[in-house]
Chains A and B, each alone.
Chain A
């Protein structure tokens, strides 16, 4: 973008972004909470009161001034483990969605733009993968790749990819048939530049909404897989894995399964809330009056 247009466009966008947050409480709260999680993730060593992996003889201690949320069955500080679990969850959800985008976007765009047999083959593969129960496929892929957080998130990304591909395919078909693409062709613009200049910017918007909602799905999937022992490996904490441990001594210390669960719930709510608000904001039918 050249300097003159940028100078006009940028402050306008920033101000309208602020106005949006002011008018949409859900969006503001969701964004605020997610921002808080990012800060907690970065500043985890400063916030945590103990080492998240150091074992002490104080097994299953109740919450007090020293152990803000008590200790687990190995005497580890639950509060510090929740704090250190935050970056795990954030990184996990972004990795999964990133992998999903990296696979889904090019294939979906290829199917949509090229059409013909390429489209037929890719669409068939998408249909097939969508008929796999999501988490089951993720478990199977994790098993094949080897257990661990990164592999589990790659698996979740693979499971998400067909959803993204399907969405971007439809959008690409819509954009490909727009007159401004015909115009660009008549200017002699090569296909790859048409895709970068026109197709990607116009087709990506609904995907952004979808991606935000998928972050929630990825977070829940990470929690499930870690709960099942396929994700984050001990001694490092993740919210899902803490729930798995907490469940085994639930009858002695039931309060310990609330905080990680609520953390997961709130984060998923924030992703979904942001997605819903973005959807409403980007909905062309609502923009008609502008």
Chain B
């Protein structure tokens, strides 16, 4: 049994290798999108021909494309994401320094989204077509449509500026000051969580309703099985699979949304790092930071896949 599981785990990791390879290729090709001569663009308007040549050489842009990719990949595999064009510091160090703040708010947001979204979804599904259901569905529609950063601004104006319950900006390292870090992360995480709450509640609701209205469950009900038992035994097993899928999507969205949220709360995480680097055309930093975030998503997907196979034995063979 355990052996089989290990083999499955290994097989899944092997399957993820092409995705990782393709992801690195995509990230690497980003620089090919730069119109004209990337070296000249990076060097800026007032660069001399020598400057441009120096940049071209230091980025390896004077070598054949495949060689550039090979070198980039080889270095990345060893944890070297090359150096920032602006500061000259290793990108990897900077990413690792900033990653904890980003992950703190993203993971906290995911927890909030699950804790709030799941009961809302179940509540709406079991009371389908009542006022309560409509209220939940309505809130969920709002949650999907609201611009995230704007909500963050409103939260700041109410809870930080108005009541003074939370700090307006900044972050604390979670390793040094756990409660302080959570206190700082509360508003950004709440901001990030809204979309997730809405998505989880909506998907869970429709998946539960589908199960509860199935012929099969109707038969159980006709046999006199109590509602809560049906919900617990048949509804939630299916819902758990839906939930896993949604969590994967939601986490992906949240990591993306940190870009704007970090700007609102002046958190120096990986999101703001990518934005600043993109504006300053510091491509090694953009590539390195995006690479690390994609890696996190891929690992997250792997974990979700494993849970999936534990919940649903049919998936294993696929």
B275 touches A230 (CB 8 A): yes
Size category of the A interface is 35 or more
- With both chains docked as a complex, state the minimum distance between the C-beta of A202 and any C-beta of chain B, in angstroms: 25
Residues of B within 8 A of A124 (CB): 18-19, 22
Q: What residues of chain B have their CB less than 8 Å away from a CB belonging to chain A?
A: 18-19, 22-23, 26-27, 30-31, 33-35, 41, 141-142, 144-150, 153-154, 156-157, 161, 252-253, 255-257, 259-260, 263-264, 271, 274-275, 277-279, 281, 283, 286-287, 290, 293-294, 297-298, 301
Residues of B within 8 A of A228 (CB): 259-260, 263, 275
Residues of A within 8 A of B147 (CB): 220, 223-224, 227, 240, 243, 261, 264-265, 268
A-B contact pairs, 13 of them (CB 8 A): A131-B19, A132-B26, A132-B290, A133-B253, A135-B257, A140-B27, A143-B286, A220-B148, A243-B153, A250-B161, A261-B153, A264-B150, A265-B150
A134 touches B256 (CB 8 A): yes
Counted as pairs of residues, one from A and one from B, with CB atoms less than 8 Å apart, the total is 149
Q: What residues of chain A have their CB less than 8 Å away from a CB belonging to chain B?
A: 124-125, 127-129, 131-137, 139-147, 216, 220, 223-224, 227-230, 240, 243, 246-247, 250-251, 254, 257, 261, 264-265, 268-269, 272-273
A139 touches B149 (CB 8 A): no
Question: In the complex, A240→B150 CA distance in Å?
Answer: 9
Question: In the complex, A143→B259 CA distance in Å?
Answer: 14
A268 touches B279 (CB 8 A): no
Question: In the complex, A11→B161 CA distance in Å?
Answer: 58
19 extra A-B contacts, CB within 8 A, seeds A139-B259, A265-B146, A268-B147: A124-B19, A127-B22, A128-B22, A131-B297, A131-B301, A132-B290, A135-B260, A137-B256, A145-B33, A216-B144, A224-B147, A224-B257, A228-B259, A228-B260, A243-B147, A243-B153, A247-B264, A269-B141, A269-B142
A273 touches B286 (CB 8 A): no
Closest to A243 in B: B150
B150 touches A257 (CB 8 A): yes
Question: In the complex, A228→B274 CA distance in Å?
Answer: 11
A146 touches B153 (CB 8 A): no
